[in-house]
Chain A
């Protein structure tokens, strides 16, 4: 079974530029998550989708971050404009459903460096 795919793997941009990340979850997984992992910290949930609807975006900085999952399959996360403190690894994960007994499967992440 193919895992969670993410691209690009690495991105370097200057502050105030915009950037977009793409995620393709495991086929058939209804729930998709975006996490931000700052160096030396654990992943922090940014947004959770159930199919194409948002379940939780309480920790998403909505003034600069946006995400969509229009057809309930793949998803994009955008940052506009980027700040230095956005430098982090952005992880996408998916699970079959949103119940707590369902394992989350993680992609390899996109490492963003903002200079």
Chain B
């Protein structure tokens, strides 16, 4: 079946620190992979995506590379800001019908 395993939080970092949030997946076929972000009091927003192996998604300084050999899609940012404090969800989309499977979310708090 399809599932996503995400690094547990919460994660607390100082401003300008390096961020990695691990995400691995199990899927049948060739899924698309996504990172969504949920800021306090707001809905889920797409952060970045990759639709095939070796693709790199990037947005707002965040990056993630679709690694088929390790079934991973780790989220990274070189220098986090206080405004990056949010909950981050890794997700995959099955290639039939676009059903999404989400990880449990990782809460990130960045302190000045």
Residues on A lying within 8 angstroms of B by beta carbon are 3-4, 31, 33, 35, 40-45, 48, 55-56, 91, 93, 95, 97-109
Cβ contacts under 8 Å, A42 to chain B: 4, 6, 89, 91, 102-105
> Once the chains are docked, how many angstroms separate the CA of A70 from the CA of B51?
32
Q: Can you give 5 contacting A-B residue pairs, CB < 8 Å?
A: A45-B99, A95-B98, A97-B98, A99-B98, A101-B51
Tell me the dominant secondary structure on chain A's binding face. loop
Cβ contacts under 8 Å, B93 to chain A: 100
Interface stretch among B11-19, B38-46, B66-74? B38-46
| Given A33-B100, A41-B105, A43-B102, A100 and B95 contact (CB-CB distance below 8 Å) | yes
Closest to A58 in B: B99
> Once the chains are docked, how many angstroms separate the CA of A32 from the CA of B35?
20
On whether the beta carbons of B105 and A100 are closer than 8 Å, the reply is no
> Once the chains are docked, how many angstroms separate the CA of A55 from the CA of B96?
10
Within the complex, the shortest CB–CB distance from B90 to chain A, in Å, comes to 8
Interface residues on B, range: 20 to 34
The B72-112 residues at the A interface (CB cut-off 8 A) are 89, 91, 93-95, 97-105
Residue in B89, B98, B103, B105 whose beta carbon sits within 8 Å of that of A102 in the complex: B98
On whether the beta carbons of A55 and B97 are closer than 8 Å, the reply is yes
Say if the beta carbon of B58 comes within 8 Å of chain A: no
| Given A42-B89, A43-B102, A98 and B97 contact (CB-CB distance below 8 Å) | yes
Residue in B6, B32, B43, B45 whose beta carbon sits within 8 Å of that of A100 in the complex: B32
Closest to A107 in B: B43
> Once the chains are docked, how many angstroms separate the CA of A95 from the CA of B51?
16
On whether the beta carbons of A91 and B99 are closer than 8 Å, the reply is no
Beyond A98-B97, A100-B93, A104-B98, 17 extra complex contacts between A and B, CB < 8 Å = A33-B100, A35-B100, A41-B105, A42-B4, A42-B89, A42-B104, A43-B89, A44-B102, A48-B98, A91-B44, A97-B98, A100-B31, A104-B46, A106-B36, A106-B45, A107-B43, A109-B43
